């Protein structure tokens, strides 16, 4: 297995789960009060994604202090991924691109970076 896959297996797996869930037709999801908090869900899943990407980078650096460029690159990866998924939703029946979902994705990615840099940086 390539070292890239070993290093980032958790974040790649999570990214695939996000893609599947975000690209399913809307009527695939049951109605639920929990799912009515859609923006909080977006925030949470992208927070987890950015945390996992940074965790992979940390493992790559042998637990050496991460530089700000790694924090910024991880944030950029997550924001661009969120943008791509939102744009792809426009071609899925029953789904649509939502700027507020993109905003929640971005805020979630920022939260993940902040949490990681606060608790796991070293």
Q: Phi and psi dihedrals of 10, rounded to 5?
A: -70, -45
Let me know: does 12 contact 75? Beta carbons within 8 Å: no
pLDDT tens, residue by residue, 50-93: 999 998 887 655 554 667 888 999 999 999 999 999 999 999 98
pLDDT band at 34 (very low <50, low <70, confident <90, very high): very low
pLDDT tens, residue by residue, 93-121: 888 898 999 999 999 999 999 999 888 75
Q: Which spans in 27-119 are helix H?
A: 38-60, 68-88, 99-119
Q: What local confidence, expressed as pLDDT, does residue 121 receive? A: 59
- The rounded distance, in Å, linking the Cα atoms of 50 and 108 is 8
Note the maximum CA span of the chain. 46
Q: What is the mean pLDDT of residues 14-37?
A: 72
């Amino acid at each position: 297995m390539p070292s890239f896959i070993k290093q980032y297996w958790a974040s790649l797996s999570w990214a695939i789960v996000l893609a599947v869930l975000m690209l399913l037709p809307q009527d695939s999801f049951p109605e639920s009060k929990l799912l009515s908090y859609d923006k909080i869900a977006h925030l949470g899943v992208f927070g987890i994604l950015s945390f996992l990407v940074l965790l992979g980078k940390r493992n790559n650096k042998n637990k050496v202090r991460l530089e700000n460029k790694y924090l910024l690159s991880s944030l950029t990866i997550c924001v661009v991924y969120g943008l791509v998924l939102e744009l792809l939703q426009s071609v899925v029946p029953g789904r649509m691109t939502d700027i507020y979902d993109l905003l929640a994705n971005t805020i979630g990615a920022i939260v993940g970076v902040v949490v990681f840099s606060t608790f796991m940086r070293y």
